[in-house]
Amino acid sequence: MKLEPKVVGVSGKGGVGKTSFLALTLKAILEKNTRHTILVVDADPDSNMPDVLGVDTTENIGLVVNELKEKIDKLPPDFGKAEYLEYKVFDVLYEGDKFDLLVMGAPEREGCYCLVNNLLMKIMDTLTKNYTLVLIDLPAGLEHISRRTSAHVDIMFLITDPSKMGIQTAARIKELAKTLHREFKKILLIINKASPETEEILKEHSKKFGLEYAGSVPVDEKLAEFNLRGVPLLELPDDSPAYIAVKKIVEETLPI
Ligand SMILES: Nc1ncnc2c1ncn2[C@@H]1O[C@H](COP(=O)(O)OP(=O)(O)OP(=O)(O)O)[C@@H](O)[C@H]1O
Ligand SMILES: [Mg+2]
């Protein structure tokens, strides 16, 4: 029986730790040695997942789409745009031993080229069906929800840091998703860079906002240091406090 792909996303205010959380989620899944086939999608235009995962690539879908849009008017009518785009998507896709990575890249240029966008959505739908687990790093804030640029997500981790703005953004994302009938089967709140004191306050807030709390990740100096040094987070030691916390959350919430 073929497993239904499970799409896991991270969202939240800028700089709260979305990318770090997703990278450590991947590390935890890989360590479990599950039979999952994994696709990581970097959907943040300001992409940094390749660095964080130690993948050497500069290619992205944005560049391909922009290139196609530029020449679309000059192409002969019988030019197979769908085939071309599909070929290019697979060209951009990084295929590793343990996971694949697709970088979405820069935002589109001005103007509506709905044809290209629709084609891309279809290709993305087909592509994600090739995997049993898809991890998406979404851009900060709410815009991706209202613009419906993000694909369908089953489990959405809303990340907050210990700040009122962080949890307010998380609450807004949840509300907006509801208003726009975006279906996230599960929305879970993660408190990052928490101390015991701030964690308690944020847990109270999360109840008030109707957010389901799934766990906290402590401040981890090694994580910050790895980030500064440009060392991939997959290499973070197994006993690092942030990794231990993320691993527990992953084991409790994801189908691994
Ligand atoms: N638990 C943690 N302990 C220490 N530092 C952390 C922790 N989580 C994240 N950081 C640091 O915080 C900074 C922001 O993290 P990260 O890039 O993961 O956030 P982000 O939400 O993805 O940001 P953006 O909105 O810009 O995409 C990085 O320098 C990272 O190393
Ligand atoms: Mg990020």
Backbone angles phi, psi at 229, to 5 degrees: -80, -10
Going from the N-terminus, what domains does the chain have, and what CATH number goes with each? 6-55+94-109+131-253 (3.40.50.300)
Task: Look at residue 134 and tell me whether its pLDDT is greater than 70.
Answer: yes
Cα(78) to ligand 1 centroid in Å equals 47
Comparing 189 with 77, the larger pLDDT belongs to 189
Length, in residues, of the chain: 256
| Best mean pLDDT range from 70-79, 81-90, 216-225 | 216-225
Question: What is the distance between the alpha carbons of residues 193 and 128, in angstroms, rounded to a whole number?
Answer: 31
What is the CB neighbour count within 10 angstroms for residue 55? Answer: 18
Per residue in 171-197, pLDDT (tens digit) is 999 998 888 777 788 999 999 999 999
> Quick one: pLDDT band at residue 131, thresholds 50, 70, 90?
very high
Sign of torsion over alpha carbons 149, 97, 238, 56 = negative
Q: In what order do the strands lie in the sheet containing 94-95?
A: 94-95, 100-103, 38-42, 133-137, 6-12, 153-160, 184-194, 212-218
Which atom of ligand 1 has the smallest separation from the CA of 221? 4
Q: What average pLDDT does this structure show over 205-212?
A: 95
Q: Which of 176, 173, 125 has the alpha carbon at shortest distance from 152?
A: 125
Which atom of ligand 1 has the smallest separation from the CA of 21? 18
> Quick one: pLDDT band at residue 1, thresholds 50, 70, 90?
very low
Q: What average pLDDT does this structure show over 111-140?
A: 81
DSSP character at residue 9: E
The pLDDT, as a whole number, for residue 206 is 95
The pLDDT, as a whole number, for residue 2 is 44
Select from 11, 20, 191 the residue to mutate for testing ligand 1; criterion: most ligand atoms less than 8 Å from CB.
20
- On the CB side of 247, CA atoms within 13 Å amount to 15
User: First and final CA of the chain: distance in angstroms?
Assistant: 16
Does residue 170 sit in helix, strand or coil?
helix
Cα(62) to ligand 1 centroid in Å equals 24
Does residue 37 sit in helix, strand or coil?
coil
Which atom of ligand 1 has the smallest separation from the CA of 192? 1
Task: Look at residue 3 and tell me whether its pLDDT is greater than 60.
Answer: no
Task: Look at residue 119 and tell me whether its pLDDT is greater than 90.
Answer: no
Q: What average pLDDT does this structure show over 96-115?
A: 78
Q: Mean pLDDT over all residues of the chain?
A: 89
pTM above 0.85, yes or no: yes
Cα(74) to ligand 2 centroid in Å equals 37
With a Cβ cut-off of 6 Å, ligand 1 is lined by: 14-20, 44, 140, 192-193, 217, 219-220, 223-224, 227, 242
Question: What is the distance between the alpha carbons of residues 177 and 164, in angstroms, rounded to a whole number?
Answer: 20
Q: What average pLDDT does this structure show over 84-92?
A: 89
Task: Look at residue 242 and tell me whether its pLDDT is greater than 60.
Answer: yes
